[in-house]
Structure 1
């Protein structure tokens, strides 16, 4: 891949350089000789200074402005205006080199020219005034006249170049070949070095994308150089893909745990339902309608337990994955807690239990999802009621000195060190469930998830025989 990119770059640069070389040759030819490599047309007479060849063309075509009167030559008014326009001058000479007409000529211009003087003035700039000399010829009847036109040499100049004309034609092919080959060689060398510098990072970027596509997200490039922004975006993509992979793995673990927990927790009640169902189908084991009703009642209780378990597992899964939007509203926490405690004590099974509530007189306002948070508090308080004797005292208090804190304390049986090490473990709750036959055994887990969803945390301290203390910090 790296070689392909480099080769394409070299070909592209080479083509561009060859085009540029042709344009340079064309420009040099145009400005030196008044023509391009692709055209032989000289400039217009009205644009004599646009190219060097324009002055020669102007001089050779100036005869059209020379007229004769009584066989005496002179320049028309239009021709004189053109000479003035281009700061030029003119002399017309007869066959003997004598001047027969002039206009605007400089002071040092001679009135007679020998052939050598004409050649000398034509060859070198500034021989006559500050002018470059251009020669033309005109014929009238049988008489021939020469005319000299001078133009400012700061605008158009002539320089003589000496060369062996025959050798040029012998070696021009070799010269062109050497020039093009040298240019091509230099171009390829520079293009290769420059191309490698550009294509090496591109090759790394392509390799990085392939690595990401293969599922390996440990890709990082130093963010510097021409491709700094691309490296930065590639690094960000790698981080996001890695985070997505971790999140996906966590979701898979949660899903696997959910299935595993459900299968584990539902196994015992399903066995009971199946066993009692088989007994009910066999009349040999049924001695009375009362016994039959007891079995049906057990089946119904186990069915309710499975239903509660499924709902609680579903709620736990949603809380752990933030799938339940919190419908928060500002409430007075004191009034909220009083309402929960009153509803608990109104329950027939717990109306004679001792539950105390203390708080400061000033109201404590907080944003909570009242439905979910009341369930968390209910789970914790009911847990204390269910797992302790009837004479256990439960004290609930609220403080807001260093943040809002809810304490739920009891002087009940407490927890062993083994249980306290995993207060939110489902096995601990399962064991409690078997003893009390209430709920799904996931009350503590659900309470913890709800509290953490509100940005809080929960801690449990306990001592066997002395009671348990639950601290909720919001």
Structure 2
């Protein structure tokens, strides 16, 4: 998978995970809000909400009794209520927290009279009829309403006339003991008279909406409010009794304590989640990018190793060399930086080696140019001096030495020019098809006649079959001369050289091998063998060479679409192969 697709997959996956977490978080908070709303509804209007839940959660046992939710039964007790389950004949089949003044059997008309208020009953009744498991039963819930009873007694035993409220002393004591207060309102809701009204906190007039809200939502105001309309005086009697439960919540909306914390919790949770995701993203994606940036900055300063951790190991890798989890997404980039680091480090080492070789090359070429020049200058001064009378033989001897030194300098300059032409590709010798066996045999026999090599040191082994190769004969002759001289002049006098020809698998492919049994070379010498002027030469003699022979040899072979291989070890001699095949053509 490419880094682009991998990054896209990671980012989409993380975004989807964040969305799922937010949805789960929102769902949890919504569930909490629903539960709290349900609790608030149970507190405010248990008769409507609680009875429905009692029916839906009730379980009829085999003995005919009913099992209810314990939490809802606890709520019944807190409301000073009671429960009865009636069969179709009005008999009580199950009861809970039922007072002694509540009957255990109801006639159909009797129960309806109690429920509609046409017949006095000490409790406020609520009924719910449901079918459970094929059985119809009636759930009767009763709740004592102190405010209703108190207002009815007050309305019956008191009077309001001529703008004056008259209450019996017993009724006044009942109202004071309950910490309640009584108000008489006119048709516009203005307060005409009052009893035990608080000094502060009550309005001077009440709208229809105020009365409805106070009657419907007692917990919002902390008071149970009931009213009776006096048709004779066209006034309204309003009695307010403080709630026995949670009296601290007065004049407040109970739902504010649900939605407020829920909203705050949701905002804090989302902010926390986003901060954690930002930190996670920074650690997951930003830290590897910072690591790579530091690595590139180190490369800029010339330090090619990867930044390491406290233990001195690369931060992106485990102990076994594999990528750490958060670095795997950038594996291609890290591998590219590793390759770049290795390349830059290798180039830096090569540059230092090249600078060393260049210094050696300049020192060597300066020495080899300066030495013959010194000889020429010395003999020129000797010939110019008037105090010497040289004979003609001595003059010719001096002239011969000067000529030899100048010819050596000419060869050196020509070889230098040749190496630069070969390196730049400016020299492309014309090749022609030639019998390699015959050509190489002639060149080897000519080399054997060179007195500098000595006799019997060169052996030629032709290929058993004719070999026709495309070579440039003058360049090929120079290659053979350079390799022969290199093998015989830079090895002990008893070194022998075997020159052989091998045919290739395809027509025109062949290999020429130069194998000697001399002292051999170490790996560093083999690596530098074809560098221009790697070896400085001693110009005391003119036949040692220019020091550029191997560089020229390699360039000429490659110009003729061949390649050269060297195999050598100290004490085991040297084998040099000149190879022409299809592979070298492609190279």
TM-score normalised to the size of structure 2?
A: 0.39
Q: Max radius of gyration: which structure?
A: 2
TM-score normalised to the size of structure 1?
A: 0.47
